[in-house]
Amino acid sequence: MTKKTPAKPTANVGIVIVSHSPDVARGAADMVRQMVGTSIPLAHCGGDPDGGLGTSVPAIMAAIEAAWSPSGVAILVDLGGAETNSEMAIEMLDDDRRDLVVICNAPVVEGAIMAATEASGGARLAEVKAAAEELSPA
């Protein structure tokens, strides 16, 4: 009996960029688009609901929805609060989506570009996460 390898999903992994600054989030997303193109679902969010620095769980959830792919979503964050709020957003997702969203421990700009490059080639979620995290110090 031969062991079958599961087929790769046909949709590219989505990327979400979460920053405390809306300008940083938008700028990182612009760089990804300029370097990788439009072959991947991409969304970004940043700032608190009052227009200051911070992050918002509802905004992160909306960004996940905007970048949703049946292949999953990789989230890049800038600081600890963005990671904490991203974790809360993931916990609030439906059960069937929760396991398809990961947070990458990587520099937000470089990690987003590496993750998007990997995703644009059809890589699986774990491969996209690993590509982003190669940039992190051990």
Residues in the chain, how many?
138
Domain ranges of the chain: 14-133
Could you please state the CATH topology (level 3) that the domain comprising 14-133 is classified under: Rossmann fold (3.40.50)
Give the whole-angstrom CA distance, residue 36 versus residue 57.
Answer: 27
Judge whether 106 and 132 are in contact, CB under 8 Å. yes
Query: DSSP assignment, residue 92?
Result: T
Query: So which residues are the catalytic ones?
Result: 20
**pLDDT tens readout for residues 40-55:** 999 999 999 998 999 9
- This model's pTM is above 0.95: no
**pLDDT tens readout for residues 57-92:** 999 999 999 999 999 999 999 998 999 999 999 999
Query: DSSP assignment, residue 10?
Result: S
